Amino acid sequence: MCIMKLKEISELEKMAKEVRKGIIEEVYHGQSGHPGGSLSVADILTVLYFHELNIDEKNPKWEDRDRLVLSKGHCSPALYACLANRGFFPIEDLKTFRKLDSYLQGHPDMNKIPGVDMTTGSLGQGLSSAVGMAITGKMDKKDYRVYCILGDGEIEEGQVWEAAMSAKKYALDNLCIIVDNNNLQIDGTIEEVMSPYPIDEKFRSFGFEIINIDGHNFQEIIDAFDVAKHIEGKPVCIIAKTIKGKGISYMENQVGWHGKAPNEEQYKMAIDELV
């Protein structure tokens, strides 16, 4: 376990607020986007970009960098907010989100956005890309790690499980999956739509080491990544229990905020809550 000092945890919590502000700014100014799932994964991405990932904002294509694949690509506002705050591009550019001629598209584009390792958007495909990256790392005898963030609704896609089988077959202990388990997708709860539960037992049966955490508890998130790095011979799946819309009171656990932009009054309320 990696016991963080209270000051370090406090700094991550502050950054997570900045990331959430970025999410709200993006979706409000673009009047389009997916705030709910972006907010639920904000704490996890904050730990990754400001504690865990071995990356260099001055050299986004550094060959030995850790890789991150945001398979749930519609939650790009959270990814962009982290990249901007990390210094990959100006924070002010977040306000151009989804506007014509902006490089910050609704889904991540590795050819246009510094720091994006894989273009995503079609759900269920990101893990296949991450598996390929992890296999390449093994073949090239590289030490980099590959992280892949999946939505819990997304794992209803069959391709996820084909990729999971490959991860086990090739003993990809350099691969770490994070499932953002906020229990809501566009049409309702994941149980109502097509239940993937029990998520932990399913991934365990596919040969993964399982770690269950509270996806908003920074110490648990940090500890999970620390444990994952010491697992040998098989991939790891961290199942993070989260709250859709986390951090904005009127968005929390409300499926209607899956893909909707706040109006001016709602925008001001959200920013006030994040001060």
Per-residue confidence of the chain (275 residues) as pLDDT tens digits?
A: 556 667 799 999 999 999 999 999 999 999 999 999 999 999 999 999 999 999 999 999 999 999 999 999 999 999 999 999 999 999 999 999 999 999 999 999 999 999 999 999 999 999 999 999 999 999 999 999 999 999 999 999 999 999 999 999 999 999 999 999 999 999 999 999 999 999 999 999 999 999 999 999 999 999 999 999 999 999 999 999 999 999 999 999 999 999 999 999 999 999 999 98
Q: CB under 8 Å to 178, separation ≥6 — which residues?
A: 44, 147, 148, 149, 150, 237, 238, 240
Q: How far separated are the first and last CA of the chain, in Å rounded? A: 31
Torsion of CA 273, 257, 127, 104, to 10 degrees: -70
Contact 155, 179 (CB under 8 A): yes
What is the biggest distance separating any 2 CA atoms in the chain, rounded to whole angstroms? 53
Domain limits, the chain:
10-273
**What's the sign of the alpha-carbon dihedral 80, 81, 87, 91?**
positive
Q: How far apart are CA 39 and CA 30, in angstroms?
A: 16
Q: Which segments of the chain does DSSP mark as H helices, in order? A: 6-30, 35-40, 42-47, 76-86, 126-139, 158-169, 190-194, 199-205, 218-228, 264-273
Q: Which CATH number fits domain 10-273: 3.40.50.970, 3.30.1130.10, 1.25.40.10, 3.40.50.1820?
A: 3.40.50.970
Q: How far apart are CA 181 and CA 166, in angstroms?
A: 23
Contact 196, 155 (CB under 8 A): yes
Backbone torsion region of residue 31, taken as left when φ is above 0, otherwise alpha when ψ lies between -120 and 50, otherwise beta: left
Burial class (CB in 10 A: 0-12, 13-18, 19+), 1: exposed
Q: How far apart are CA 108 and CA 266, in angstroms?
A: 26
For the entire predicted model, the pTM comes to 0.97
Q: Which two tokens stand for residue 218?
A: 């920074």
Q: What is the 8-class DSSP label of residue 51?
A: I
